Structure 1
Amino acid sequence: MKKGAKTMLRVLLWIVAVIVILILICFVYHRYRLNAEKKLREPLGQLVDINGNNMSIYVEGSGSRTLVFLSGSGTCSPILDFKSLYSLLRDDYRIVVVEKFGYGYSDIVDEDRNIQTILSETRLALNKAGIEGPYVLCPHSMSGIEALYWAQKYPDEIEAIIGLDMAVPEYYENMKINLALMKLGQYAADLGITRLIPTLAESDAIKHGTLTNDEKNRYRAIFYNRTATVTIINEAKSVKDNARIVAQNGVPQVPMLLFISDGTGGTGFDKETWRRIQEKYISEVESGKYIELDCPHYVHDYEYGRISEEIKSFLSD
């Protein structure tokens, strides 16, 4: 081997060694921080046993109607993400936040995430927590698919659907889901590399909502423990098939109010397309209406004041 080639090889080996050492340092520090943040990850609600795994459910408030909040894909802390909105509703309604497996304080499971299983787990969790219907479902983003399926299969359990920029089946017909990037995110989270970029943990709920400093710290602690989990990735793998099933079942005729964003903040669609698809869907609902909001996808972290008032007005009609 020529001297120049040997030098190049030696440099490459040094680079690889440095990278490995840095990753090892990140991993060790990450494990240390996870242990230090353990108290911040103590459940805010209750845990119910679903087929041998713990699912987190948060309940507060009182009223004759029960609002069930269901988070979008990748929202690491649904309980805290929705807080800015439901804190304005808890005096008038019973508030329930269901954290599906892989999210928030719920366990991570490596299982198929077909729509039948997801809905079965949610209904069982509510039943075990003693929360009876009918329900007003408040889904954000991808959970719109579950909410629509729920209304299709068990219409007597659903009083209304209030979509917080929720997804409808048509979105997934041509949506590109980058599973490779999600897996990369999973590895980065497991190794603690995400801690090198603190802004990743600064969610819309932290930056634009009404969380206290303690709640913000809780959110960050959960982010470092519930980012791109295997459950969330399995969910993404199944979402196109799930959406196809919902589309085949038609549009459920339950009262619906859709809050529609400007499409920014992670939808992957331009403003016109994002709004057109939801507005087309709601046009087929006899008792349906929509409200356009000039804010990003996590509408409940931006327009919580207006949304809360519109919900009260809609449910009082």
Structure 2
Amino acid sequence: MKKALKIIGKFFLGLLIIILVFLLIMFVYHRIMLNKEKKYLEPLGQMVEVDGHNMSIYTEGEGEHTIVIMAGAGMVSPILDYSPLYRRLSDTYKIAVIEKFGYGFSDVVDGDRDFDTLLRQDREALKKAGIEAPYVLCPHSMSGIEAILWAQKYPDEVEAIVGLDMSTPKAYTEENLNDDDKGMELFYKFLRESGVGRLILTDNNVSQSFSDREKDIYKALAFRKFANKDVADEGDHLADAIDEINSADKPDIPTLLFLSDGKETSGKLWIDAMNDYSDGLTDSRVIQLDCGHNVAENEPEKIEEEMRKFIAELDS
């Protein structure tokens, strides 16, 4: 029995040593690659100063209507992530892509990440970049909450909302809002800091709509910033933002909501919440798509077609 236990002990000790050596090799390799990948970090857009830090704003195209792309939580590179959609629209409209702090080429910062702060910073960044209101806000996922706040607080700045499977106030249960997911945050930090994430994020699971250089840029950003503290901290303020929205009237502005199949969100709860939000608005419609949550990549042709119709109606 003792001999068997000794053999088992040696096995696990050997396995532990192998794992530690592997992690050390990955860590050193990761640091070497981070240095080599600096050549991919030249900003694709304009950098403006907000609260003493650099925020990235990308613009493309010209037109009478300005579409502001607002990224969903944790998107690595909004400029690239939403390009399959906005490149189809920039021949007619002015496109502005906001990269909040912690996203894309913007700095990772210390400070509040509550939704009032996010909104103030986004508005200031657009102003400093010379992008004037009114805007057609185009939020994806959790930025839908910020877009609704924007329309409530500054109605003169918001011409319409086009939701890309955007969050709505009833899309979250009390359990969701109070879920303290520190374990996942630590896991993502481990993947990012150790370099193990490089084994997961390869060319095969980066959007195939990107060019080879865009894939390299995307990965260089992901290996540095994925699920950083700015991104993680936003979710901690979601409940307060929803309470603020519910304390005021729903912004009754033209609204077009693209809805995913719900399989990558909260299913029926997500779908019912979006339909509920649309109900009661004077000019609102929901378009059901047969695809996952990242609708801008999954169904850009359909969204482009419907957005063009919708924006044309704003002028009529």
Above 0.5 in TM-score? yes
Paired letter, 1:182: E
Root-mean-square deviation over aligned CA pairs: 1.9
Residue of 289, 294, 300 corresponding to 1:293: 289
- Mapped to 1, the partners of 2:39 and 2:111 lie a distance apart of 28
Tell me whether 1:113 sits opposite 2:113 in the alignment.
Answer: yes
Native 8 Å contact 1:201 1:223 kept in 2: no
Native 8 Å contact 2:50 2:125 kept in 1: yes
Paired letter, 2:252: Q
Distance 1:66 1:222, change over 3 A: same
Counterpart of 1:214 in structure 2 is: 213
Equivalent positions of 1:299-314 (< 5 A) are 299-314=295-310
Native 8 Å contact 2:115 2:234 kept in 1: no
Report the secondary structure of 2:15's partner residue.
helix
Report the secondary structure of 2:305's partner residue.
helix
Distance 1:172 1:274, change over 3 A: closer
Q: TM-score, normalised by structure 2?
A: 0.92
- Mapped to 2, the partners of 1:125 and 1:88 lie a distance apart of 24
Report the secondary structure of 1:280's partner residue.
helix
Q: Stretches of 4+ moved more than 6 A in 1?
A: none
Counterpart of 1:29 in structure 2 is: 29
| Segment of structure 1 superposing worse, 69-78 or 104-113 | 104-113
Report the secondary structure of 2:101's partner residue.
coil
Q: TM-score, normalised by structure 1?
A: 0.92
Native 8 Å contact 1:179 1:233 kept in 2: no
Q: What's the CA shift string for 1:77-133, capped at 9, x where partnerless?
A: 100011011111101111000000111001111322111111010011011111110
Native 8 Å contact 2:171 2:269 kept in 1: no
Report the secondary structure of 1:33's partner residue.
helix
Native 8 Å contact 2:152 2:251 kept in 1: yes
Tell me whether 1:236 sits opposite 2:232 in the alignment.
Answer: no
Report the secondary structure of 1:170's partner residue.
helix
Native 8 Å contact 1:202 1:220 kept in 2: no
State the 1:289 CA deviation: 1.0
Counterpart of 1:135 in structure 2 is: 135
| Segment of structure 1 superposing worse, 29-38 or 118-127 | 29-38
Report the secondary structure of 1:245's partner residue.
helix
- Mapped to 1, the partners of 2:78 and 2:252 lie a distance apart of 27
Report the secondary structure of 2:221's partner residue.
helix
Report the secondary structure of 2:231's partner residue.
helix
Question: Identity rate of aligned residues, in percent?
Answer: 44
Native 8 Å contact 2:192 2:226 kept in 1: yes
Paired letter, 1:226: K
Unpaired stretches in structure 2, ≥5 consecutive residues: none
Tell me whether 1:256 sits opposite 2:248 in the alignment.
Answer: no
State the 1:248 CA deviation: 2.4
- Mapped to 1, the partners of 2:106 and 2:198 lie a distance apart of 22
State the 1:4 CA deviation: 6.2
| Segment of structure 1 superposing worse, 162-171 or 16-25 | 16-25
State the 1:224 CA deviation: 1.4
Residue of 178, 202, 205 corresponding to 2:205: 202
Residue of 166, 180, 184 corresponding to 1:181: 184
Q: What's the CA shift string for 1:240-269, capped at 9, x where partnerless?
A: 22222222223111111000010123x1x1
State the 1:12 CA deviation: 4.0
Equivalent positions of 1:48-197 (< 5 A) are 48-174=48-174, 175=176, 176=179, 178-197=181-200
Report the secondary structure of 1:148's partner residue.
helix
Q: What's the CA shift string for 1:209-260, capped at 9, x where partnerless?
A: x322222222222221221101111112222222222222231111110000
State the 1:161 CA deviation: 0.5
Unpaired stretches in structure 1, ≥5 consecutive residues: none
Tell me whether 1:245 sits opposite 2:274 in the alignment.
Answer: no
Native 8 Å contact 2:203 2:215 kept in 1: no
- Mapped to 2, the partners of 1:150 and 1:21 lie a distance apart of 50
- Mapped to 2, the partners of 1:102 and 1:264 lie a distance apart of 27
